Amino acid sequence: MSSPAKSAPVIYLDYAATTPVDPRVAEVMIECLRPEGPHGNPSSMGHEPGRRARALVEKARQQVAASIGARPECIVWTSGATESDNLAILGVARFHADRGRHVITARTEHKAVLDAFKQLEKEGFEVTWLKPGVDGIVRPEQVRDALRSDTQLVSLMHVNNETGVIQDVAGVGAICRERGVAFHVDAAQSAGKLPLNVEAMNVDLLSLTAHKSYGPKGVGALYVRRRPPLGLKPLFHGGGQELGLRSGTLPTHQIVGMGEAFEIGERDRESDVARIAVLRERLWQGLTAIGGVELNGHPSERVAGVLNVCFHDVEGESLRFALRELAVSSGSACSSGSDEASYVLRALGRSDQLAQSSIRFSLGRFTTADDVDRAIAIVSREVARLRALTPTADSNGT
């Protein structure tokens, strides 16, 4: 593993990959881990240590439910959005397979959604893969046009993890509700960034994860509409926790952390967003000043924290290596090992080369103006340095 040559601490601008745990969240988690904490098994309702843990789990359920306008009994705890996405998509499709085998999603979804749909293809389902416009947006009419009498499920993410582009999920939700088709939304990137309301958005299933919103990694939730009840098959089987939808011992400290993170996220949402939007704008001004940069995705339908930018006339791998003092990313964290160009940017019509020379800067609660200014300085310096070495277009005509 190569480490940065310079020993200055890296500037963390990868909040969309994962966030640090907010100290207020860490505090409540740490209390749970102490000897005098609620160490019982939340399923052990026969004794006090168990009931104490259970009470905390239920409080967190209310916190998370409140943050999305849902009733607490609609929240199922999972290990994260990957599991939530799979539980929602595989769960509903498999449960209702005899009612129809057509399902709809978009090409720019997270892998957890894409790969769940690919699995459904293997199981004999037909998938319509919607292509967004160059702005990254899937229009509700595209969904309406794709619906068939045997369509059973539509899945569309709220906020794209690579570009920050916001989809009109409420518009799609209204269409699905009208047609009686189950609607799943991957909202892993939304909590604390946008208002979320499952009723107003007509959402039947909503995936959440704690670690993109200053909570711990390894815990998430799936909202499942209960009225009228939506049948779904569990991914795995056992103790029958979470009304049989998700067996396994409930991790009290993780759930408590997620509850706290979501409560804080909603309470501080407006001030966080306002502050981050200013920093994002400052970053964008600094980057455009370099010249030869372009924004990936819709210019305004986007969350405050994410800026995905392509740099003309610099090769991707060199650019990433040159910027190693910055913790930024190209594509999603899970594909960060690979050299492949982002499939999301390709779907937006970017060439392989421009997709590879794109960088996602994502800002968050602990980003400072100084971080941004130092980042601008580094990017400006390194892009200029690399471009100075890039052969110009007329090189061939010597």
Contact with ligand PLP (CB under 6 A) among 142, 152, 209, 362: 209
Tokens of 66: 């409140």
Q: To the nearest whole angstrom, how small is the minimum distance from the Cβ of residue 165 to a copy of itself?
A: 20
Distance of CA 132 to the CA centre of its chain: 18
Contact with ligand PLP (CB under 6 A) among 220, 257, 316, 364: 220
43-82 mask for a copy of itself (x: CB under 8 A)? xxxxxxxxx---x-----------------------xxxx
Look-up of token digits 């939007």: 277
Q: To the nearest whole angstrom, how small is the minimum distance from the Cβ of residue 208 to ligand PLP?
A: 9
**Cβ closest to ligand FES, residue 80 vs residue 192:** 80
**Cβ closest to other proteins, residue 249 vs residue 353:** 353
- Binding of residue 384 to other proteins (CB under 8 A): no
Distance CA 81, CA 236 (A): 16
Q: Which of 70, 53, 72, 76 is nearest to 62 (CA)?
A: 72
DSSP assignments along 120-133, one per residue? HHHTT-EEEEE---
Contact with a copy of itself (CB under 8 A) among 134, 243, 289, 333: 333
DSSP secondary structure code for residue 248 in this structure: S
- Binding of residue 197 to other proteins (CB under 8 A): no
- Binding of residue 110 to ligand PLP (CB under 6 A): yes
253-292 mask for ligand FES (x: CB under 6 A)? ----------------------------------------
**Cβ closest to other proteins, residue 30 vs residue 45:** 45
Look-up of token digits 């967190």: 60
- Helices and strands, counts by H and E, the chain: 12, 12
Tokens of 35: 């000897």
**Cβ closest to other proteins, residue 18 vs residue 318:** 318
- Binding of residue 244 to ligand FES (CB under 6 A): no
Distance CA 103, CA 100 (A): 9
Collapsed DSSP state (helix, strand, coil) of residue 182: strand
114-153 mask for a copy of itself (x: CB under 8 A)? -xx-xx----------------------------------
Are 376 and 283 in contact by the 8 Å Cβ rule? The answer is yes
Total residues binding other proteins (CB under 8 A): 24
Residues 17 to 76: which contact other proteins by CB under 8 A? 45-46, 51
Are 313 and 387 in contact by the 8 Å Cβ rule? The answer is yes
Q: To the nearest whole angstrom, how small is the minimum distance from the Cβ of residue 139 to a copy of itself?
A: 26
**Cβ closest to other proteins, residue 270 vs residue 340:** 340
Distance CA 167, CA 190 (A): 11
Kind plus residue range of the DSSP H or E element containing 186? strand 182-186
Look-up of token digits 């003092």: 325
Distance CA 335, CA 106 (A): 19
Contact with ligand PLP (CB under 6 A) among 67, 189, 254, 308: 189
DSSP secondary structure code for residue 96 in this structure: T
Residues 64 to 83: which contact ligand PLP by CB under 6 A? 80-82
Q: Which of 32, 74, 176, 334 is catalytic?
A: 334
Are 209 and 193 in contact by the 8 Å Cβ rule? The answer is no
Distance CA 280, CA 375 (A): 12
Distance CA 102, CA 100 (A): 6
SS (H, E, C) 131-163: CCCCCCCCCHHHHHHHCCCCEEEEECCCECCCC
Residues 266 to 305: which contact ligand PLP by CB under 6 A? none
Residues 312 to 331: which contact other proteins by CB under 8 A? 313, 315, 317-318, 321-322
- Catalytic site residue 334? yes
354-383 mask for other proteins (x: CB under 8 A)? --x---------------------------
- Contacting positions for other proteins (CB under 8 A): 1-2, 5, 45-46, 51, 313, 315, 317-318, 321-322, 337, 353, 356, 386, 388-392, 395-396, 398
What amino acid positions are annotated as catalytic residues? 334
Site of interaction with ligand PLP (CB under 6 A): 80-82, 85, 110, 112, 157, 161, 186, 188-189, 209, 211, 220, 248-249
